[in-house]
Structure 1
Amino acid sequence: MGCAPLGHILYDEFMRYNPKNPYWFNRDRFVLSAGHGCMLQYALLHLAGYDSVREDDLKQFRQWGSRTPGHPEHFETPGVEVTTGPLGQGIANAVGLALAERHLAARFNKSDNEIIDHYTYVILGDGCQMEGISNEACSLAGHWGLGKLIAFYDDNHISIDGNTEITFTEDVSARFEALGWHTIWVKNGNTGYDEIRASVKEAKVAKDKPTLIKVTTTIGYGSPNKANSYSVHASALGAKEVDATRQNLGWPYEPFHVPEDVKSHWSRHISQGASLEAEWNAKFAEYEKKYNEEAAELKAIIFGELPLGWEKVLPSYTPESSAHTTRNVSQHCLNALATILPGFIGGSADLSSCNMTLLKSFGDFQKSTPEERNLRFGVREHGMGAICNGIKLHSPGLFPYCATFFVFTDYMRGSIRISALSQAGVIYVMTHDSLGLGEDGPTHQSIEHLMSFRAMPNILMLRPADGNETAGAYRIAVLNKKRPSILALSRQKLPQLAGTSIEKVEKGGYIVSDNSSDNRPNIILIGTGSELEIAAKAADELRKEGKTVRVVSLVSWELFDEQSNEYKESVFPEDVTARISIEAGATLGWQKFVGWKGKAIGIDRFGASAPAGRLYKEFGLTTEAVLAAARSL
């Protein structure tokens, strides 16, 4: 209610969009970072003529199957750009959206045809400002000079626990000035309509900086008894107070009634939006005639088209190939993909030389070089993940990746979860995936992380064992545009194993070797990542003893679960109960594959600081341990 004037002025007077095509490429983007106020956005979409929010949808607010959920979800409601709810995520997503616009404009605009020209608008509240992720992302926005990012800070001094004077008394505008933002203060956000209009115009003049407009409002404006109180933040007004508010505002109409003059006023956006898109299409047609090569690249980014034979650029290996860390193989894959996918862009949280994520044919995306494709995020993991979500949701053909040590997914888990919920196919490149990183010790050694992401819906957790599986993991990550992928990669060198396959990674799990002739081996050994080599060595020893042994690589549980029952049975015959898994992580969950008669070898405590070989020996992640378990079965 407090942001209604601001929302009205934005959607009615400034924003460029087509209600009948919510996905028109050159539209302005709007993000409601304060997602609990989503009914404001639904009302604006309804008034503007979006088919996704009809009167019945408004009446079904927060109900099962409605297109008006309790926080904005872009996959539910066309016209909603990103999924918001966890505070701070929206403003960080908006930085990604604005980065995408800046990058694509720098690459494709010409002096005689600026084909990309749109703004990203955000409304955020006190809660967003308090969350650390917003500072991470906004620090980068200031550094990058994202001048087409305009954020409205709803300064109403109320959070769920009461007045913000109990927790939040900093000068937000001064902080944003220090972050490199242009700042404006609208002192009367309740009725200062001209002041709001003037602030947007001023923000558009500051082309070299993002702008924060602090808009001082009254929460629950119009409610005679609950305005300016935490109660209107945390719960509905109630029927009695709604009636009192209607009387106070002089609103005589029935619930959900839109007066004819209001309908008439807003209806123009349908024809205006169609005209805006038609004008842009004509502009693009001229662009395509004159700049055919650039137009083809831009179309691939807009529509998510993959070039024919793109997979062939991925490297392949034989058992005779030299050993590599999978992080090094990852670097070969990243650089190969960047040569053929025009929307491939990304970087690391200050660890590019450790994660091996630098695109060698490109420079750094900076304020003065926005056309480049290496993103330097600094030590800002949470903001990095959310920015990449925004990049991915800007255009289907953008393929953002971001990297850090696997253990530091703890710092960015909120953003990764929103990737999965948002159907944003970000590629997470996570190196130093296990005890194998060695001397840095237990603070850096991931233990429970593989299992925690296997528990997360709509995400692919991939742990490749060698070069072929790493290339296969990238193939899967690129193909899954609406499902994020995490690649857990090794610091230590791993041999190129016989029987691994780029193509078979898509099955999630597959047979690497088997000396049985009837699909009934004596025992099945299962490994992932660096431990597949251990399983293969143990199989060699057992075969010398006359046993039939199957070795299975289980690169991705999620992909394996999606296979047919017949395929699963072909890999794990039900009547072969002697099964052993080995993985340098928590054993929780492995019973799903080894059963209660099998054995899961792993680590269920924190690690230690020592060379990798000593750690594997001390924690029982060895060929000898697999052999002992096999003989006990």
Structure 2
Amino acid sequence: HGSPLGEEEVRLTKEAYGWDPDKQFYVPEQALKHFRGCVERGAELQAEWQTRFDDYAEAHPELASDLRRLIRGELPPGWDAEVPRFHASGTMTATRKSSHAVLQWAASHVPELVGGSADLAPSTLTVIEGGGDVERGEYAGRNLHFGVREHAMGAIVNGLTLHYLRGFGSTFFNFSDYMRGSMRLAALMGLPSIFAFTHDSIGLGEDGPTHQPIEQLAGLRAVPRMRVIRPAGANETALAWRYAIASSDHPSTLVFSRQGVPTWNPAAVPDDAIELGAYVLRDSFREPDPPDVILISTGTEVHICARAADLLEADGIAARVVSMPCMDNFAASDSAYRETVLPRSVRARVSVEAASTLGWHRWVGEVGETIGMHTFGASAPAGALYSHFGFTPEQVAMTARDVVARVKEA
């Protein structure tokens, strides 16, 4: 299909239709009449629809107002006035569980939020409680059971979003590969579709390398317009859902963990953390002066960096911890703001993410180090895997000491 028909094939086609083969750019009167009739029929259908809608609006004024709002692409007024905030605690909570709690809040304020999972709802925790199910002949529910059809799920989510709803679809992060085509089209069209993934790293454990994502974060970050968000705890998770629902011209990929993480003090997580893309979660004992080293991380590895910072500061090394939930947003943020988070004067930097390191060298620079995955994972408990692959406070602290020494020698 990559070649034109050619002059002879065009002549034969015209002859088959009974047209004059020598006439160029010719539209037969019959065809012209047909297409002009389509315009007239369209006007009639529009007038008929408007009459029906006017009758509906008279009978159901509030519902009609909601429908007009949806068509305008607006969210309910004040829907995000009170985004959930989670108090700091010693309890380790998986961000997929925090996501479930936030989803219930969002669904209660945004009635057009609908979606589901590709046969993994009990694991991804994406059921809207009390929302009912969409079934054959029953379309009032808000939960869709897509089955093991990841690509179709992505396409359906895009269709829901195109028709004024806020659609989301969910599965394990490794299975995002099966729906890359529909996710890429969402980005190409600038649709605010929401793709919510769980089991985001080797931390999913014994299911092993067939289920453990390695290259997916880097791959999706490379998609133009796609915003990939990997929250470090419950408060970033709440802000991630708010950001995704409020978006209007790009899709969002939300990436949640299976294993637990601490809940950071909400005062340490700025309200615009996702919009900014990265922020200083914890500064060094030398604040406001620059630190000796900056530890940059996302998701479940942020708390590992925080514990590594404790080890470094016990040795007198001033360590700043930066959470970077959305790399693309940080790259697009104001250069002056980026300088406050990652000052150029601090060349000692270490990035930590249990995934491919592709893309991280931009932030750590030539003398910095990246701690990540360079092989596929393995089947073992999450803690054993994190220790085996070097995602421990001790390993991060040791790498940071080496980088600090290297910078001093340079």
Classify the TM-score, shorter chain: over 0.9
Distance 2:109 2:25 in 1: 51
Contact conserved, 2:311 with 2:394, CA < 8 A, in 1?
A: no
For 2:318, which of 548, 571, 584 is the aligned residue?
548
* Counterpart amino acid of residue 548 in structure 1: A
Distance 1:436 1:330 in 2: 17
Please tell me the root mean square deviation across aligned C-alpha atoms, in Å.
1.8
Compute the displacement of 1:260 (Å).
Answer: 4.8
The 1:297–1:264 alpha-carbon spacing in structure 2 relative to 1, beyond 3 Å, is same
TM-score, normalised with respect to structure 1: 0.61
Measure the CA separation in 2 of the matches of 1:314 and 1:378: 31
The residue type paired with residue 237 of structure 1 is L
Q: CA deviation at 1:243?
A: 2.7
Task: Name the SS of the counterpart of 2:26 in structure 1.
Answer: coil
2:53 is the counterpart of 1:284:
yes
Q: Secondary structure at the match of 1:421?
A: helix
Other-structure match for 2:408? none
The aligned amino acid for 2:329 is L
**Within 2, Cα distance between the matches of 1:346 and 1:290?**
29
3-state SS of paired residue (1:461): strand
SS at match of 1:323: strand
Does the CA-based 8 Å contact 1:433-1:445 persist in structure 2? yes
Does 2:160 match 1:428? no
The amino acid that maps onto 1:331 is H
Counterpart AA for 2:96: R
Q: Mind listing any 5+ residue stretches in structure 1 that lack a counterpart? A: 1-232
1:355-392 CA deviation, whole Å, 9 max, x = no partner?
A: 00111121110013211111011111121111211221
Q: Is the 8 A contact 1:317 1:468 kept in 2?
A: yes
After superposing the two structures, state which structure 1 stretch, 413-422 or 489-498, moved more: 413-422
- Residue 570 of structure 1 deviates from its aligned partner by 1.7
Name the counterpart of 2:131: 362
Answer whether contact 2:95 2:260 (CA < 8 A) is retained.
Answer: yes
Contact preservation (8 Å) 1:327, 1:431: yes
Q: Distance in 2 between matches of 1:270 and 1:313?
A: 47
Give the one of 103, 128, 139 matched to 1:334: 103
Q: Which residue of 2 aligns with 1:99?
A: none
Q: CA deviation at 1:280?
A: 2.1
Partners of 1:527 and 1:552 within 8 A in 2: yes
Alignment of 1:57-206 (within 5 A): none
What one-letter code is carried by the residue in structure 2 that aligns with 1:600? T
Say whether residues 1:310 and 2:70 are aligned partners: no
Match of 2:368 in 1: 598
User: In 2, Cα distance between the equivalents of 1:488 and 1:573?
Assistant: 28
1:352 is the counterpart of 2:121: yes
The Cα of 1:462 is off from its aligned counterpart by 0.7
- Change beyond 3 A, Cα 1:519–1:458: farther
Letter of the 1:307 partner, please give it: P
3-state SS of the aligned residue for 2:232? Answer: coil
Opposite residue 305 of structure 2, the aligned amino acid is: A
**1:81-124 alpha-carbon deviations (Å, 9 max, x no partner):** xxxxxxxxxxxxxxxxxxxxxxxxxxxxxxxxxxxxxxxxxxxx
- Per-residue CA deviation, residues 554-589 of structure 1 (Å, 9 max, x unaligned), is 111111111111111221111211000101111122
Match of 2:377 in 1: 607
State the SS of the aligned residue for 1:369. coil
Query: In the TM superposition, what are the counterparts of 1:295-306 in structure 2 within 5 Å?
Result: 295-306=64-75
Q: Indicate how the Cα distance of structure 1 residues 255 and 338 shifts in structure 2: closer, same or farther if over 3 A, else same.
A: farther
Give the aligned partner of residue 22 of structure 1.
Answer: none
TM-score of the aligned structures, taking structure 2 as reference length:
0.92
Matched, 1:419 2:181: no
Determine the C-alpha separation between the residues in 2 that align with 1:449 and 1:555: 15
Q: CA deviation at 1:464?
A: 0.3
Return the offset for 1:502: 4.1
> Matched residues in 2 for 1:246 and 1:287: separation?
49
CA contact (8 A) 2:131 2:142 kept: yes
C-alpha deviation, 1:468, in angstroms: 0.8
Tell me, what secondary structure is at the counterpart of 2:358? coil
Unaligned runs of 5+ residues in structure 2 are: 404-410
Match of 1:323 among 63, 86, 92: 92
Q: Does the Cα contact within 8 Å between 1:578 and 1:598 map onto a contact in 2?
A: yes
Distance 1:614 1:321 in 2: 21
Give the deviation of 1:541 after TM superposition.
Answer: 2.4
1:256 counterpart letter in structure 2? F
Distance 2:59 2:112 in 1: 21
In 2 relative to 1, CA 437–235 (structure 1 residues): closer, same or farther, beyond 3 Å? same
Supply the AA of the counterpart residue of 1:367. Answer: R
Structure 1 pair 352/367, CA: closer, same or farther in 2 (3 Å)? same
Q: Which residue of 1 aligns with 2:9?
A: 241
Partners of 1:350 and 1:262 lie apart in 2 by: 48
Comparing 411-420 with 352-361, which one deviates more in the overlay?
411-420
Deviations 1:265-304 (A, max 9, x none): 4324334423432332232222122212221222233222
Instruction: Render the CA deviation track for 1:569-627: whole Å, top value 9, x for unaligned.
Output: 22111121100010111112210100120010011111111111111111100100111
- The whole-number CA distance in structure 2 between the counterparts of 1:519 and 1:259 is 78
Q: Which amino acid is 1:420 matched to?
A: A
Partners in 1 of 2:384 and 2:91 — Cα distance? 23
SS at the partner of 1:552? strand
Question: 2:407 corresponds to which residue?
Answer: none
1:434-453 Cα offsets, whole Å, 9 max, x none, are 11111111111111111111
Equivalent residue number for residue 579 of structure 1: 349
Number of aligned residue pairs: give it.
Answer: 399
Equivalent position to 1:629, from 385, 390, 399:
399
Equivalent residue number for residue 394 of structure 1: 163
